[in-house]
Each structure stands twice: as structure tokens, then as C-alpha cells.
């Protein structure tokens, strides 16, 4: 059905197709697009979620018809998208035919870059706040009721909530008024401090070794989050000084597109655990514990690698080149700074651990306490690599002096088209992983 939709889109002349397309800039602003396009987007999202769920349910035991229900829901959604696409294409052709018959001369279309995006819509900020608030509520319920299911679900959604919080942190970099800064502090306190402290209290009240270690780890994360919040404020100020086109590319492509794209695999890892629970009908089953622990840490790795890619784009391209690792340097292992070697080693450790965790998903066997220890080791490795990168990025920017202002005034860089800026986007996290 998705292929049919692409065929319908391709059947329309390219100059007509521009009337049907929905740009990333319009999505980021959440305006200037029709209700029909919005409904299409929601239905496509429903189809994607259903597809992830079905993919994770392959090989599962009897699920009492739930697979069929999800499958038919996704099928109905994509059929509705196809019908909407056909209707839009026919309307566009009919409108162009009327213009031709009335004698109007169709002027040659000039493709202009969209108006630069300086801030992302409040809709996405609200979605992020909903994710983090859900995590906090689950932690509070866990601390009060001492039911393992709240702890279990909170661990699964924590990586998604963490990534969405970081994305919301950079959505409006030019908002420096007191009201918005108070909102950022409130968002941080409700998510990190209240959530993790409640999580730790519930873990300590239960008293067993697994929950106690989880509580200690949650408390250990709080100072790291505080340090990250302080570094984030400085990086957010750097992003606000980017030239208009670079800022637009950063918000639309790096933060919004890359961040939401990574959430898909994270949802898949979550559904792997859901698949196990559906098959076993119990949270305490050993296979489900191993799978859920591995899925949680793998989601954390994806979230932190995405955050690493985001913070490498919050400064002008001149500073980015100072931070970049050239492929020739990787091949020859020469010209690398000490912190780049350390960061590359830490991410390599995380990559090796990720392979081990991927092999655990859905595998039969007894509960293995080493899964949590191995996963925490990889999490600390990628976490320290992230802090090293953020710290050195700030220090390098200070050493550049007024480089940011110079680049801001450079006419060539300020006139770069949005499409060329998108083509220059590189995933620095993948380069460091290769190292």
C-alpha cells in the first residue's frame, strides 16, 4: 500500500506535486498546511506504529487476536492515506486543467527556500512534556504503591522521555525571557529530580537487591543530569547565535527529523519487551527481564548518540570543523586529540556492548544479573563520551574568540541555501563509532 501511494505521487507532474508536498519547515511550525495533510500525517504515524508492533511480534506465541487487530488498524490507516493521496492528485490536475482552459499562462515556478525556522511549534514541546510527565507519574505511583509494573514501565519509557526532553530543550533557542527559562527549569525539576528521586525511594522501600541497585543508579544519574543541564544552557545560547539558515537546518533536520527518526527504533525495542510479556503473561519471567533490561539500555544508547549528534551542531560550522574527526585521521590514527581518542574508545566499548545486548533480545534462558551490569557499563561509557564532547565543544568555542560573530557576519554563509545545508549534515556520532 505504501508503494501504491508513492506511485500515485509520482503520477502527478513535478510542478503540480509542489502543491501537495508538506515541507519540514511547515511541520516544524505546525501551520500553513491543510487539515487533510494533518490527517494524512496522523494516519501514516498510526501505520508506522502498527508496523513496529507487528515486526516485534514475529515469533511470539498466541496473542488472542491482538496481532490481527493491530494489523487491520494499520491496513485501514494506509488505505485511507492512499485514498486521500489519489483525491489530492485528481484535484490538483483538475485545477491545473481549469487554469489552462481559461487561457491563463502558467509562469515558470521558481523554487525558493522556505523562510528559516527560528523556533519549533509548542505542539512538539507539549508532546515532550507529556512524555516526561508520564515518566514522573509512573515513578510517583511506584514510590507510593510499590508495584513492580510501574517500575517496569518507567524504565522502558525513560530513554524516550530523556531524548524528547533534550529535543524540547533546543526547540526554542532564542527564547531567553524569564517566563520561558522558568518553564525550562520546571520541566527539568519535574522530569529529573522528582522522577528519579521517586524512583529511588520506591526501589529502596522494596529492599531487594535488583531494586536497590536500580535506586542507587537513579540517584547517581541526578548529578550527571544537573551537569548536562548546565552545559545544555550554554550550548543553547550558542545555537541561538547561528546564522538563520544554519539555525533552521539545525532545528528542522538535526533536532526534529533526526530525533523523531531515532524514536522509532526505541519504540521497537520497547515493543520487543511487550512481545515477551504478551507471550509469557508475566513481568517476573526471566526471559522478559533479560529482554526488557537489554531493550532499555539499547534505547539509552540510541538516545545518547542522538544527543551527541545534536550538540555537535549547536555551533557555527567553523567551530564544527575544529571538533570534527577527519576520515584520514581515523585511517592513519594520527592528528587526533587526546579527548577524541578517549571519546572514540568509550563509544567503541558501548558499540561492543550493544552487540551483546542485541543478542539477548527474546532469547530463552534464566535471569542473568550480568545483563544489567554490562548495560550500565555501556551507559556510563557513552554518557562520559557525551560529557567530554559537550565540555570540549564549549572550551573550543571559547578559544575561537569571536569566531561565531565573524561567521554570523559572513555573507557567503548567511546566503547558503537550505538544501545545501541539509546535504552537509553529517552524523558525527557514527564517525566516532567508526573510530
DSSP string computed for 191-206:
IIIIHHHHHHHHHHHH
298 CB contacts (<8 Å, ≥6 apart)? 269, 354, 357, 358
| The predicted structure's pLDDT at residue 430 | 40
How far apart CA 299 and CA 201 sit, in angstroms, is 24
| The predicted structure's pLDDT at residue 164 | 92
**Domain extents for the chain?**
2-95, 122-434
How far apart CA 192 and CA 136 sit, in angstroms, is 8
| The predicted structure's pLDDT at residue 188 | 93
Average pLDDT along the chain, 435 residues, taken 10 residues at a time: 77 57 76 77 86 75 72 90 82 70 49 70 91 91 85 84 91 90 93 90 80 82 87 86 86 88 83 67 61 82 86 70 54 65 79 80 63 80 79 64 42 36 40 37
| The predicted structure's pLDDT at residue 369 | 65
What are the cell numbers at 295?
Answer: 531493550
pTM of structure: 0.71
| The predicted structure's pLDDT at residue 76 | 92
**Secondary structure class of 237 (helix, strand, coil):** helix
What are the cell numbers at 391?
Answer: 565540555
| The predicted structure's pLDDT at residue 165 | 92
Are 58 and 127 spatial neighbours (Cβ–Cβ below 8 Å)?
no
**Cα–Cα separations (whole angstroms), residue 418 to 70, 221, 313, 396, 427:** 39, 38, 15, 26, 18
How far apart CA 252 and CA 25 sit, in angstroms, is 7
**Cα–Cα separations (whole angstroms), residue 234 to 63, 227, 256, 303, 423:** 49, 11, 20, 20, 27
How far apart CA 424 and CA 421 sit, in angstroms, is 5
Amino acid at each position: 500500500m505504501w508503494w501504491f501511494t508513492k506511485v500515485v505521487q509520482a503520477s502527478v507532474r513535478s510542478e503540480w506535486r509542489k502543491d501537495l508536498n508538506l515541507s519540514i519547515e511547515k511541520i516544524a511550525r505546525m501551520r500553513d498546511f491543510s487539515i487533510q495533510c494533518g490527517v494524512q500525517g496522523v494516519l501514516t504515524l498510526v501505520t508506522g506504529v502498527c508496523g513496529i508492533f507487528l515486526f516485534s511480534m514475529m515469533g511470539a506465541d498466541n496473542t488472542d487476536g491482538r496481532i490481527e487487530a493491530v494489523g487491520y488498524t494499520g491496513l485501514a490507516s494506509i488505505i485511507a492515506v492512499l485514498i486521500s493521496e489519489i483525491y489530492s492528485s485528481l484535484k490538483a490536475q483538475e485545477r491545473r486543467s481549469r487554469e489552462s482552459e481559461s487561457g491563463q499562462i502558467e509562469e515558470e515556478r521558481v523554487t525558493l527556500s522556505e523562510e528559516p525556522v527560528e523556533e519549533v511549534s509548542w505542539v512538539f514541546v507539549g508532546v515532550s512534556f507529556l512524555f516526561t510527565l508520564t515518566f514522573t507519574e509512573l515513578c510517583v505511583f511506584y514510590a507510593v504503591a510499590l508495584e513492580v509494573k510501574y517500575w517496569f514501565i518507567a524504565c522502558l519509557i525513560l530513554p524516550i522521555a530523556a531524548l524528547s526532553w533534550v529535543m524540547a530543550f533546543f526547540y526554542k533557542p532564542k527564547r531567553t525571557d524569564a517566563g520561558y527559562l522558568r518553564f525550562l527549569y520546571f520541566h527539568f525539576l519535574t522530569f529529573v529530580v522528582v522522577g528519579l528521586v521517586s524512583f529511588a525511594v520506591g526501589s529502596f522501600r522494596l529492599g531487594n537487591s535488583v531494586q536497590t541497585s536500580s535506586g542507587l543508579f537513579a540517584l547517581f544519574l541526578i548529578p550527571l543530569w544537573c551537569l548536562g543541564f548546565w552545559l545544555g544552557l550554554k550550548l543553547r545560547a550558542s545555537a541561538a547565535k547561528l546564522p538563520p539558515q544554519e539555525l533552521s537546518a539545525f532545528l528542522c533536520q538535526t533536532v526534529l527529523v533526526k530525533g523523531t527518526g531515532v524514536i522509532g527504533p526505541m519504540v521497537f525495542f520497547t515493543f520487543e519487551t511487550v512481545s515477551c510479556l504478551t507471550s509469557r503473561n508475566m513481568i517476573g519471567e526471566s526471559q522478559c527481564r533479560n529482554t526488557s533490561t537489554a531493550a532499555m539500555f539499547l534505547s539509552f544508547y540510541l538516545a545518547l548518540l542522538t544527543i551527541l549528534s545534536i550538540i555537535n551542531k549547536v555551533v557555527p560550522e567553523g567551530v564544527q570543523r575544529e571538533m570534527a574527526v577527519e576520515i584520514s585521521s581515523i585511517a592513519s590514527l594520527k592528528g587526533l586529540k587526546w579527548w577524541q581518542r578517549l571519546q572514540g574508545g568509550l563509544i567503541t566499548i558501548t558499540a561492543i556492548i550493544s552487540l551483546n545486548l542485541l543478542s539477548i533480545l527474546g532469547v530463552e534462558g534464566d535471569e542473568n544479573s550480568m545483563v544489567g551490569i554490562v548495560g550500565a557499563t555501556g551507559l556510563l561509557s557513552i554518557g562520559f563520551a557525551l560529557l567530554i564532547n559537550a565540555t570540549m565543544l564549549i572550551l573550543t568555542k571559547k578559544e575561537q574568540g569571536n569566531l561565531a560573530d565573524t561567521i554570523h557576519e559572513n555573507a557567503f554563509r548567511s546566503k547558503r541555501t537550505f538544501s545545501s545545508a541539509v546535504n552537509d549534515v553529517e552524523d558525527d556520532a557514527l564517525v566516532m563509532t567508526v573510530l
